[in-house]
Structure 1
Amino acid sequence: MPHALPPAFTIVPPNGPLSGRVSPPGSKSITNRVLLLAALANGTSRLTGALKSKDTTLMAQALRQMGVTVEESDDTTFLVTSTGRLRAPAGPLFLGNAGTATRFLTAAVATIEGTVIVDGDEDMRLRPIKPLVDALNALGIDASSPTGCPPVTVRGTGRFGKGRVEIDASLSSQYVSALLMAAPFGEGPIEVALAGKDIGARGYVDLTLAAMRAFGADVADNGEGAWLVQPTGYGATDFHIEPDASAATYLWGIEALTGGKIDLGVAAEAFTQPDAAAQQVIAAFPNMPEVIDGSQMQDAVPTMAVVAAFNNRPVRFVGIGNLRVKETDRIRAVANELNRIRPGLAVEDGDDLLVHSDPELMKAASRTATSRIQTYHDHRIAMSFALAGLRIGGITILDPACTGKTYPDYWDMLQGLGVELIPGQ
């Protein structure tokens, strides 16, 4: 695949099952966590199995702006050297539409003595960050976000406060992870507690805790939605990053829709990321459950919804309200684009998504749709709707380059499995 992708790809449905060996890229969620932790650790850390994509590149660039040495010896390795403290950058940190990098750094830069502006592109400037800013303020940190979204201005004193802080994590677990990762720089122990019981995806907090402990943090989980973090700082370490479970969902979807078999080199149960739970749901195709709770595997919902379009019975996705504040409103985007394939195929019901499954779409005679799929600058919309093109002719994915956010080789992967892609406008 050329470096510069065309404005659109039309997918030619394959004539049979797709099988082969595919190695998913490294986990974006873990890569951006350990990049930050390595930057906050004293010494040199070797991060292997890492994802090199738009989101992780933006994180690495921001760390370099703050005095951290980030070297890239190969396509899956970062070598990070730091004094254990970040320095005030010369200008604003620009993080595109990378939610993890933006939220994590908003907390981390509060450990700096100086003023830092954390900003993003026009889409990121619509994504809420007020709960995190409010929590920083509660710790005595001068942080402000006039719109409740980026840009955020943090006027740090080099101290991160101490005591108990409550955080509203109903919109995103990333707020909790951001506070936790910065908390070892407190003036004393910091207790991070949920305000209420709602949290975006608890499994991602577990990823954060595991990564923190690998870098030497002392953090205790009280089992009641609160974590006590000691002011230990971090020490450098070597860390291997597992493959991306969200990327694996597309491969599981390919297996389900084509009857093929793809060797990922890692079993679904070996993943520590919560999106791996989607494997069992997708493997139940064409008899996926009538109700699927997507609250703990949010990034897998677009994949499951596209597969559900071909299911034997309708599927209702619940617990997915947070998808409205991702890279785009993913509930609306998925409904819109499924209805572009066949009117009435999906309905937004409050914050639920109801997919009116149509098993007839699996039949060769139905391969007549002509649908130009809008991707809304959202990598997951592009990658999940490409799966529909494996069964239905005439599916065109607009702006295929947006997959570079987390899976730069996605289209190469499809071609490697034998899928024909026709470049177009």
Structure 2
Amino acid sequence: MTTSPRTDLLADPWPAPRATAPVDATVTLPGSKSLTNRALLLAAIADQPSVVRRALRSRDTLLMAAALTALGSAVDTSGPDWTVTPGAFDHDAFVDCGLAGTVMRFVPPVAALSTGEVAFDGDEHMRQRPIGEVLTALRSLGVDISGERLPFTIHGTGAVPGGTVVIDASASSQFISALLLAGARYEHGVDVRHDGKPVPSLPHIDMTVAMLREHGVEVDDSEANRWAVAPGVVKAVDRSIEPDLSNAAPFLALAAVSGGTVTVRDWPEVTDQAGDALRDILTQLGCTVAFTDDGLAVAGPGLAGLEGVDLDLHDVGELAPAVAALCALASGPSHLRGIGHIRGHETDRLAALAAELSALGADVTEHPDGLSLRPATLHGGVFHTYADHRMAQAGVIVGAAVDGVLVENIATTGKTFTDFAPFWASLF
């Protein structure tokens, strides 16, 4: 199915495997990063120890485990099931956020419960990602903080008064989830009200609310743009993590471009994960999508049958890089909109996608909130990733359909998928 077996898995830039025949495969994906990091944080502030089964082992989740351990909990990551033992947050600590937005945004509201000083920093690029709304909200709830972005320090007093806070979460739904996750431990709970443009990635807030309720936390989300968490105990819950459906994007895209069939095991029939939108998106692109006894199966039409689409990806912006890669290969024009907020992700993903796809011959127009792509003949070259795992996944999708694509820093996929490169190469 490829030109030759992979012998250069550590090369940088990495020669992306080219599919020269339909790829038929069944894959088991790692657990969801979004679910794992929320589960770890809730377990760390729960009333007794619990287990997070089939936790995703990746840089982001290990950073979360290390952050919670630094605060005073104990997270045993030695096996596939991680035991979390809550502990007293009673000493000074340092939290390394790396490039993990969930660590940078979710941990500060919990760290505010500490009696110590908690310092936060991360990779150089993380210092540019938006965090100000969370820090401003915490200050209005009674938290003492030095700094406006990474690096910053929380000066804990052991308690947070809580109450009502108005924020603009139009840049990231994580601003809201961050406050909700810790809110039950605040003296008066937290009442979060959004004032601004529509909140992106609402399924992630729905995920947060659902998980809080499973932990016995009372959440009122009956009004639009308002989420109220009542003060109370966070009950321990032993939880199994679903596969990361957003990480399914390159594998299902491989079926689409090669004309093969890829099945993802254990795809939940009901889920709050944004990646579930792939079922509808791939159908519109011309694929056949169906649940089978083995999981979710996607049969692709091949490049000739790949159709252009007009999609509003506002709620599922994390899928935009993979979808853009498919649209660059499609036989008709496409327009992806509603995703201006992904400029604040690991990199400015709209600018990065426009630049890298264009460099390989794609016909792309960048808009303030999206991309337009028209049919073009692509060629090989280096696809830069900007230390962004979703950009790397977009690069390998193009590489599966175009000879000579070299993906820079393929190791950045370790953010959510350890050993992605050899796993991907094994499918060809």
Give yes or no for TM over 0.5: yes
Q: 1:61 is matched with which residue? A: 66
Q: Give the residue type in structure 1 aligned to 2:223.
A: G
1:158 aligns with 2:133: no
2:381 to 371, 374, 381: 371
How far is 1:14 from its partner?
Answer: 2.2
Asked if residue 225 in structure 1 is aligned to residue 243 in structure 2, the reply is no
In structure 2, which of residues 125, 128, 137 is the aligned counterpart of residue 126 of structure 1?
128
Q: 1:130 touches 1:145 (CA, 8 Å); kept in 2? A: no
Tell me if the contact between 1:249 and 1:278 (Cα under 8 Å) persists in the aligned partners.
yes
C-alpha contact (below 8 Å) 2:395/2:407 kept by paired residues: yes
Aligned to 1:169, the other structure's residue is in SS state coil
- Greater shift, 106-115 or 317-326, is seen at 106-115
Aligned partner of 1:45 in structure 2 is: 50
Residue 422 (structure 1) aligns with: none
- 1:383·1:403 contact (CA, 8 Å) conserved in 2? yes
Distance 1:178 1:2, change over 3 A: farther
1:294: how far off?
A: 1.1
Q: What is the Cα deviation at residue 106 of structure 1? A: 1.5
Matched position secondary structure for 2:153? strand
Q: 1:366 maps to what in 2?
A: none
Q: CA deviation at 1:390?
A: 1.0
Give every structure 1 segment of 4 or more consecutive aligned residues whose post-TM-superposition deviation is greater than 6 Å.
1-4
Ranges in structure 2 where 5+ consecutive residues have no aligned partner:
1-5, 286-304
TM-score of the superposition, structure 2-length normalised? 0.90
Partners of 1:26 and 1:234 lie apart in 2 by 23
Q: Which residue of 2 aligns with 1:421?
A: none
Moved more, 327-336 or 221-230: 221-230
Give the Cα–Cα distance (whole angstroms) in 1 for the partners of residues 369 and 394 of structure 2: 20
2:171 alignment partner in structure 1: 171
Does residue 101 (structure 1) correspond to residue 111 (structure 2)? The answer is no
Q: Does 1:82 align with 2:78?
A: no
Structure 1 unmatched ranges of 5 or more:
362-368, 419-425
Matched-pair contact (CA < 8 Å) for 1:40–1:86: no
- The amino acid that maps onto 2:338 is G
**CA apart distance, 1:165:** 1.0
Q: Report what 1:284 is aligned to.
A: 284
Aligned to 1:423: none
Q: Paired residues, what number?
A: 404
Percentage of pairs with the same residue:
35
Matches of residues 127-142 of structure 1 in structure 2 within 5 Å? 127-142=129-144
1:297 equivalent in alignment to 2:316: yes
Shift of 1:381: 0.6
Asked if 1:187 corresponds to 2:187, the answer is yes
Deviations 1:304-348 (A, max 9, x none): 000001112211111111111100110011111101110x52121
Cα distance in 1 between the residues matched to 2:84 and 2:261: 37
Q: Is the 8 A contact 1:45 1:79 kept in 2?
A: yes
Q: What SS does the aligned partner of 1:237 have?
A: coil
Alpha-carbon distance, 1:135 to partner: 0.8
The AA in structure 2 aligned to 1:161 is P
Q: Does the alignment pair 1:399 with 2:409?
A: yes
Question: In structure 1, the residue corresponding to 2:48 is in which secondary structure?
Answer: strand
Structure showing greater relative contact order (alpha-carbon pairs closer than 8 Å, 6 or more residues apart): 1
- 1:288 deviation in Å? 4.4
Deviation at 1:197, TM superposition (A): 5.2
- Per-residue deviation at 1:187? 1.2
For 1:222 and 1:197, how far apart are their aligned partners in 2?
A: 19
The residue that corresponds to 2:329 in the other structure is 310
Question: Contact 1:282–1:288 (CA<8 Å) still a contact in 2?
Answer: no
